[in-house]
Every structure is written in structure tokens, then in C-alpha cells.
Amino acid sequence: MTNVILSLLTVLMIFSAPVLAAQEQGERDGPLRIEITEGVIEPLPYAVPDLVAETELAVEHASNIARVIAADLSGTGLFREIPREAHISRVTSFASPVQFADWRAVNAQALITGGVSVDDSGNLVVRFRLFDVFAGQEMGQGLQLVGTTTSWRRIAHKMADQVYSRLTGEAPYFDSRVVFVSETGPKDARQKRIGVMDYDGAGVSYLTDASSIVLAPRFSPGGDRVLYTSYASGFPKIYVLDVASAARQELQTQAGTMSFAPRFAPDGRTIVYSLATGGNTDLYSLEIATGQSRRLTSAPSIETAPSFSPDGSQIVFESDRSGSPQLYIMPATGGEAQRISFGQGRYGTPVWSPRGDLIAFTKQSKGRFHIGVMRTNGQEERLLTASFLDEGPTWAPNGRVIMFTRETQGETGEASLYSVDITGRNLKKVPTQTGASDPSWSPLLN
């Protein structure tokens, strides 16, 4: 038996030698392998020198367009502009080769160059390129945009959109608009109008006058119409308004009832809204063309603030059926609702992300208001803001940024629009000429 054991040991030694040798050789042969799991989170430095004015009429646009691009990119908080005073190289021709060493010296990791001209028909022609400075190569192909000279801001936004998408991989959102409620006057006699502006607060125009109180404007999926609630008749009623002509039409709901909190379905033909009758508030859907209405909920509680999922199959809404306002999801045709919010506090104004992955909401907890996001199953809740009063989130077209209303405390308190990245970073105020509330972000413009 001893011989058997010794034989087994010998066999094991013989077979183990190549295995051990192979393991050691495997570690020594081939490339060195390391794993990087920790990085840094900081704005990516970029440079955007003034565009090259190729005609005399384009001189004034050369700098303006570059400034709008810089404001768009730096405004995301993801990028940091290298100031023009630090530039070593001067771009004098759109076709001239890039001196990458000069841009590396000022730590510009991305470089945007462009040229602008006005053609014989009076159109503005803008070309641009994007470079990865440290790799020393162009990112994607150059692009040319043509538009009227009055639309130079939109051209600049579109250029910034291209740069943003190529650098981050996210869908763009700069070339978009926001409809909101403009507020003027003291708190006890506030005048409200519906205004529409570029996402960055520029180009404001008003769609209604201040003769009656207006609430909750909501863009259509195409961005050409706006739903809103007006007290023009004494009762809250829902109107649909054409953005181009400012013509409005009242949507027929049950007589003697109050209808409010409307929102378009993704197909643009149906809306969902709240209707209060007999002391009870439920959700209804309405086909705009036919006026056919359908009741979606029938609970003795308040159901309001509905919002469709991007595919139109589900609706998230707010209900106090459990005793306090919470968030629920149900099929778009009505049916059993499933509660998704279980945290401490009161939840409201849910809005489904255009990506379909998150739901933004307002939360009131411990005397403070928050804007937060959660997964569609209610998990991974994250609060992004905290203040005296934050409410009414709306998503940017790419689902990366949220705009909302923040109201300050006191007699002189005023409502303003703020935006925040879904990471919770880059909280900033949106510049508006007046007080502003209840924003609704349009889809990306065509």
C-alpha cells in the first residue's frame, strides 16, 4: 500500500510541474494587465475660437455663434471652455491644418473650428469641425448648416448639439423650446401669461394675455401645440393652442365640471386629464378630434397629474387613495394601478422620462420640497434638489436634464425656473425676464 501511495504522489508531482510552470509563465508572458476602476468627474476642457468670417456680412455672426455654442456646452456642467485669451493658435482659415500642440499646451481636449458666410441669396452658411486634440484627429465628419440670418441662434444650438452628442454619446437637447407661465405683479394680484422661449431663456414670446389665470401648459409631442388650463370661464377648463398662430380652442368636457392637469399622449391625438365632479377627482382620456371621453379611474380619492410612458402603454399619476399622495402606474386604458412610491413623505407631479427609464417627481418631506427621480418600478429613488418649494419637473428631450419651478419664501417670494442634471450636479437658474413657473420642455426641433 505504501508503494501505491508513493506512486500516486509521484504521478501528482509529475503532472503538477507543467501546471505550475504554465501558471507562472502565463503571468510573465504577454502584455502587462491592469484594471482602472476609479476615475475623476470634472468638466472636459474645450476651446471654441470665433468662427472664421468668410464674407463681410458674416462678421457679426462669427463671434455670436461661437459664444452661443460655448454657453450651451459650458451650461451643461460637463464641459469647461478654455478662455479665448489663453489660445495660442489663431484659426484664420477653416481649411487650415490644426496646430494640435498649441491646443494641447492650453489643455484643450476638444477643439471646435468653423467658418461662416452669407451666400448670394442672403442665407447664412455655417461649417464646423470637431477635433480630439490629444488624439490629434477629427471626431466625426465636418458639418454644414444653412439658414436665414435671423435664425443664427438656432444654427448655433444645432452646432452645439452635434458637439455635445459626439463628445458625450447622449442625444442632443439645445435646439428645443420651453413653454411656461410668466408671472408678474405682487403675490396677491399676480398676473399670469403663457410664454414660450428657447431652452436657455432667449427668444421669449407670449401666447396668451394676462386677462385670466392660466396653469400647466404642456407641449404636444410634435411641439406645435400647447395644452393648458384656463379660468377664463370661471371654472378651470382645458384649451389647446396652436403655437404658430396662437389660436386656441376649448376642449369639450362634461358641463359643470372642472377639468385640469392635461397632458398629451405620445400619438398627439389623445389627451389624459383630471376631472372633478361631485367632490371626486378621477382621470379621463379624450380624443381631440372626436371629443370622445373615457373614464380611466373610479376611486373615491383624488387622482391627478397623469403622464404617459414614451410608448403610450402606461400612465403614471398621483393619488391619495392610500391616505397620502403617492405615485401609481396603470395601463393607458385604465385598470388596476400599482403603487411605486413607498418613501416617507408626499409624492406628486410625476413625469415619465423620454428615455422611459426614470420618473421625475416632486416630494415633500420634513418641511422641504425636493425634485427627485426613481426607476419605473419605484426603486433607486434619488433626490436631486432641496428647498423651500420645488415642484413641477419636466424632462429635456434627451432625458438627461430636468427643469422645474423653485419659489422663494416670504411676501416678496418669486417663482423661477431652474434646471439640474439627473446626476444632481449643475443646478442652475434659467434666466427669464419675469417670474416663471410650470415649465414644459418641447421635443427637439426639426
Q: Which of residues 21-40 bind another protein (CB under 8 A)?
A: 23, 25, 27-40
Show contacts with another protein in window 53-92 (CB under 8 A): 74-75, 77-83, 85-86
Helix (H) or strand (E) holding 262: strand 258-264
Instruction: Examine residue 296 and tell whether it contacts another protein (CB under 8 A).
Output: no
Residues recorded for the chain? 446
Q: Binding residue for another protein (CB under 8 A) from 14, 42, 141, 446?
A: 42
Q: Which is nearer to another protein, 23 or 344 (CB)?
A: 23
Q: Which is nearer to another protein, 90 or 295 (CB)?
A: 90
Query: By CB neighbour count within 10 A (0-12 exposed, 13-18 middle, 19+ buried), where does 364 fall?
Result: middle
Q: How many residues bind another protein (CB under 8 A)?
A: 79
Q: What φ, ψ does residue 108 adopt, rounded to 5°?
A: -80, 120
Show contacts with another protein in window 107-146 (CB under 8 A): 107, 109, 132, 134-136, 139
CB of 441 to another protein, least distance (A): 19
Q: Which is nearer to another protein, 41 or 244 (CB)?
A: 41
CB of 183 to another protein, least distance (A): 17
Query: CA-to-CA distance for 244 and 69, rounded, in angstroms?
Result: 26
Q: Binding residue for another protein (CB under 8 A) from 199, 219, 347, 418?
A: 418
Show contacts with another protein in window 389-408 (CB under 8 A): 406, 408
Instruction: Lay out the site mask for another protein across 152-191 (x = CB under 8 A, - = otherwise).
Output: ---------------xxxx---------------------
Q: What is the layout of strands, in order, in the sheet containing 346-352?
A: 346-352, 358-365, 368-375, 382-383
Query: CA-to-CA distance for 109 and 390, rounded, in angstroms?
Result: 36
Q: Binding residue for another protein (CB under 8 A) from 422, 432, 435, 440?
A: 422
CB of 79 to another protein, least distance (A): 6
Instruction: Lay out the site mask for another protein across 349-388 (x = CB under 8 A, - = otherwise).
Output: -------------------x-x-x-------x-xxxxxxx
Query: CA-to-CA distance for 302 and 319, rounded, in angstroms?
Result: 6
Please name every residue paired with 196 in a beta bridge, in sequence order, or none if there are none: 179, 205
CB of 349 to another protein, least distance (A): 17
The SS3 assignment for 114 reads strand
Of 390, 403, 324, nearest to 362 by C-alpha is: 390
Q: What is the layout of strands, in order, in the sheet containing 435-441?
A: 205-206, 191-198, 177-184, 435-441
Of 62, 47, 193, nearest to 115 by C-alpha is: 62
